[in-house]
Each structure stands twice: as C-alpha cells, then as structure tokens.
Amino acid sequence: MFGRAYDANVHSTKGIVEIDPASSVPLHEQVAAAVRRAIADGEVQSGERLPPARDLAAVLRVNANTVFRALRTLRDEGIVEFRRGRGVTVSGIGPGRGAVVAKARELVVLARRLGYRPEELAEIIARVS
C-alpha cells in the first residue's frame, strides 16, 4: 500500500487492501485500519512520512475527507503526527501500547472466526473488565 508505486489494486507487501463501501464498518475506520496494518507489517517505519492524503484517497478510491478523518483518528491514538511542512509521519507506538494493540488484533481475528459481531465482542470485553 505504501510501496514505491501505487496502482489501482492497492497492492501491499502482505496482499491487497480493500475498502468495502458495503461494510458496516465506516470507511474512515477501514482506512485507519489499513494504515495500522501497513505500520504493523513494517511497510512504514517510525519517523517515515506517509503518502499525501489525496494520493491515499485516490489509491483507496475514497474521498480525501475520509482519509483526513482516518488520519486524525490515528493522530489521536498517537500513531501518526502531523508536522507542518513535512506532512504526516509515523510516530511509532510505545512498547506497552504496541503489545496491547497486537493482542487486541488477535482477539478480533479470533472473534470473527468464531462468528462474533464487533458489538458482541465489545460486550464481552466490558463484562470482563
């Protein structure tokens, strides 16, 4: 997704990123998840700049405002930083947060495989916390 050349299929080193407009997951959340995955997969390292939001929007075939909203979410999570004159850079994830995010991803994958919907998983987490 963040490789040297963009193409219409949005190839990443781990596969093809697909944004599904028919999904119940909002588009901006799908875009944020795609960026998180690219970071987790090592396609972008801490300190590296992301492609311009308009380029990402074109590649992902979504509105630029959708990408901007996703990037603001990632900024609020501390994953990226907006730097004047330098664009959006990956700020990195602290070791503690990174471990929690990795385990959360594993849990989501397991829950999906077992047929749980996101709201059901959220209820389970709320009960055990």
Q: What is the pLDDT of residue 97?
A: 62
Judge contact between 27 and 66, C-beta under 8 A.
yes
What global pTM score does this model have?
Answer: 0.63
Q: What is the pLDDT of residue 1?
A: 61
Hey, what's the torsion of the CAs at 119, 124, 126, 129, to 10 degrees? -150
Please state the separation of Cα 9 from the chain's center in Å.
17
Just give the CATH number of 1-93.
1.10.10.10
Per domain, the residue ranges of the chain are: 1-93, 94-129
Q: What is the pLDDT of residue 85?
A: 86
Full DSSP string of 1-59? --SSS--TT-EETTEE----TTSSS-HHHHHHHHHHHHHHTTSS-TTPBPPPHHHHHHH
Using 50 as the pLDDT threshold, list the residues of the chain that sit under it: 4-15
pLDDT in tens, 80-91: 999 888 899 998
